[in-house]
Amino acid sequence: MDCTNNMIEENGLKNELGTIICKRCGTVFATIPTNGYKLIYGICQNDNCQEQIGGENE
Ligand SMILES: [Zn+2]
């Protein structure tokens, strides 16, 4: 369930400085523990993003 993520953040688990952002829709969909802040581009779970249609409409 999605609630888990919120609970972890509220518990003050601030080790996660690596932010994974979807390069297709721009949504931050995951964070990972890293040494220092890092911005990593990936593909989120969204069907529209999973399909590599290859048309950038924006
Ligand atoms: Zn996406």
Tell me how far the alpha carbon of residue 2 lies from the centroid of ligand 1, in angstroms: 17
pLDDT band at residue 1 under the 50/70/90 scheme = low
In the chain, the number of structural domains is 1
Rounded to two decimals, the pTM is: 0.58
Residue 56 lies in a domain: no
Residues 8-34 have a mean pLDDT of: 81
Residue 43 lies in a domain: yes
Tell me how far the alpha carbon of residue 44 lies from the centroid of ligand 1, in angstroms: 4
Distant-in-sequence, close-in-space partners of 28: CB < 8 Å, separation ≥ 6: 19, 20, 21, 22
| Nearest alpha-carbon partner for 43 in 31, 34, 55, 52 | 52
Tell me how far the alpha carbon of residue 54 lies from the centroid of ligand 1, in angstroms: 13
According to DSSP, the residues that pair with 32 across neighbouring strands are: 18
- Sheet with 38-42, edge to edge strand ranges: 28-32, 18-22, 38-42
From residue 7, give the alpha-carbon distance in Å to each of 15, 29, 36: 15, 16, 23
Tell me how far the alpha carbon of residue 3 lies from the centroid of ligand 1, in angstroms: 20
Residue 21 lies in a domain: yes
Tell me how far the alpha carbon of residue 47 lies from the centroid of ligand 1, in angstroms: 8
Residue 43 domain boundaries: 3-50
